[in-house]
Amino acid sequence: MTDQAEFLPEIIAEIAGVAGFDAAWTIAVAKGGQQVFIPAIASPDHWLSQLVGLEAATRICAHFSTRSSGDKILIPMASGARRRKAWADALASDKSANEIAATLGVHRRTVFRHKSRTNDDQGELF
């Protein structure tokens, strides 16, 4: 797993570990706050396969199915993770502070505070 998964809730990070960050993030955004059924075997027409692809769905099913018929799991809202990812994406972009503020619905001073936390240009003293 990459450092992208460090801000994910445990179950989403677990999905990222077996199917990749993109699949986990797609599930978190589409199904956050919902209880979902994970079948024992993924089929092409199941919502999971349609959402993340059959290959990723197969890995997720193999990992989470505890019974031969499948199992239900609760997908966390991941609102904190969404917010942190939005900040990380915005700060990594070449957008101006005003554009980031408008996109995230915050004051431009907040953008500068976040930028200063991630951009430590101060060299080492020793």
Give the DSSP per-residue string, 87-121: HHHHHHS---HHHHHHHHTS-HHHHHHHHHHH---
85 and 65 in a common domain? no
What residues make up the domain containing 101? 79-118
The b/e string for 19-43 (b: 16+ C-beta within 10 A; e otherwise) is bbbebbbbbbeebbeeebebbeebe
Is residue 1's pLDDT more than 50?
Answer: no
54 and 28 in a common domain? yes
Top pLDDT among 122 and 79 is at 79
Top pLDDT among 122 and 31 is at 31
103 φ, ψ (degrees, to nearest 5): -65, -45
The predicted-structure confidence for 53-96, as pLDDT tens digits, reads as follows 999 999 999 999 877 888 999 999 877 777 887 888 888 899 99
Q: How many domains does the chain have?
A: 2
Q: Determine the pLDDT at residue 120.
A: 59
90 and 39 in a common domain? no
- 125 located within any domain: no
Structure tokens at 35: 């209880």
60 and 85 in a common domain? no
- What confidence tier does 6 reach under pLDDT thresholds 50, 70, 90? low
- 22 located within any domain: yes
- 126 located within any domain: no
3-state secondary structure of 112: helix
